[in-house]
């Protein structure tokens, strides 16, 4: 017949109450970190208490040997797990030395038992520590890879600007909340005048350098916190920004064209000595239904009208 001591029943009851309390707490919004620490402390006390109340059973005395694994897995903290391992080892050795546990006939057997407990626990602690260390390294590597993939998915690899995919997301987001902002939303679409001639004359590597220089110049002109500059493809760029007045939006467009020409990149074909850009500016009307594709299409039409009018200029897009 199985016997149950009062101490064993107390530990079992406490375990049941802690389990119910943790589950209920989690359902009521208890932070997971708190639940982990409560469970960890209970396991520490429970395993040590069990080895005391059933000290006559060698199997019960060995149960605390599983503590390092539980501590490491629950806390995911090598230092705390090692500290718990040392505490549990010291407690078990003290129990053995004071007469608890299986009958030990002499000091040699006592020393052998203490060494056995210590070595087993430290070995298990070392194994779990190595496991957690390598798991953390793998998680960090996966996070770095995830960040790199997100960067590649949202940015243009040549210039570092946001790409066309991100442009649609940003413009749609700004359009959805434009009526909540007293400022006006503006979109400026621009590209390099006679870029093909530049590539043919100086070569594609130099053309890539020009695009990177142009990206830097545009980012300097539109450097406010909410200004977002994009490379939309080839030599075509765009800027989504907010403006207090239509005159301020026009001033920003003028600054961009002047800054690009001031870069001093030689133009292989006239009429200007330096590389220039042409642009189309679209000012989004408040409380007027529109889409990102509509905004882009209108700005694109204004851009090509600027090209036909002689380049090195910008024109307003029609609503």
Which entry of 3, 235, 261, 308 is annotated as an active-site residue?
235
Q: Widest CA span of the chain, in angstroms?
A: 106
- Give catalytic status of residue 209 as yes or no: no
Q: Residue 195: how many CB atoms within 10 A of its CB?
A: 18
Q: Which of 286, 282, 280 is nearest to 306 (CA)?
A: 280
Instruction: Please list, in sequence order, all residues whose beta carbon lies within 8 angstroms of the beta carbon of residue 84, skipping any fewer than 6 positions away.
Output: 40, 44, 67, 68, 71
Instruction: Please list, in sequence order, all residues whose beta carbon lies within 8 angstroms of the beta carbon of residue 191, skipping any fewer than 6 positions away.
Output: 234, 235, 236, 237, 277, 278, 303
Measured at the CA of 47, the angle between CA 46 and CA 53, to 5 degrees, comes to: 85
How far apart are the C-alpha atoms of 295 and 188, rounded to whole Å?
10
Which residues are known catalytic residues? 235
């Amino acid at each position: 017949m199985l016997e149950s001591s009062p101490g064993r029943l107390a530990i079992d009851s406490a375990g049941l109450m802690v389990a119910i309390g943790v589950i209920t707490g989690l359902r009521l919004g208890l932070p997971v970190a708190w639940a982990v620490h409560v469970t960890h402390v209970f396991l520490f006390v429970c395993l040590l208490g069990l080895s005391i109340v059933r000290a006559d059973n060698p199997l019960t005395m060995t149960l605390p040997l599983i503590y390092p694994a539980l501590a490491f897995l629950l806390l995911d903290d090598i230092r705390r797990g090692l500290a718990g391992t040392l505490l549990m080892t010291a407690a078990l050795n003290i129990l053995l030395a004071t007469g608890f546990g299986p009958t030990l006939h002499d000091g040699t057997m006592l020393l052998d038992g203490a060494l056995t407990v210590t070595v087993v626990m430290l070995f298990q602690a070392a194994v779990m520590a190595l496991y957690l260390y390598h798991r953390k390294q793998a998680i960090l590597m996966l996070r770095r890879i995830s960040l790199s993939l997100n960067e590649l998915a949202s940015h243009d690899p040549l210039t570092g600007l946001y790409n066309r995919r991100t442009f649609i997301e940003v413009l749609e987001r700004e359009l959805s909340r434009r009526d909540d902002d007293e400022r006006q939303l503006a979109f400026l679409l621009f590209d390099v005048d006679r870029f093909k001639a530049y590539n043919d004359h100086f070569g594609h590597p130099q053309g890539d350098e020009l695009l990177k220089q142009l990206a830097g110049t545009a980012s300097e002109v539109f450097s406010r916190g909410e200004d977002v500059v994009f490379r939309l493809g080839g030599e075509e760029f765009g800027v989504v920004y907010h403006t207090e007045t239509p005159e301020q939006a026009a001033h920003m467009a003028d600054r961009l064209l002047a800054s690009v020409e001031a870069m001093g990149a030689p133009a292989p074909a006239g009429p200007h000595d330096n590389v220039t850009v042409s642009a189309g500016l679209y000012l989004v009307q408040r409380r007027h239904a529109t889409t990102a594709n509509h905004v882009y299409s209108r700005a694109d039409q204004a851009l090509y009208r600027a090209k036909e009018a002689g380049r090195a200029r910008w024109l307003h897009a029609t609503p």
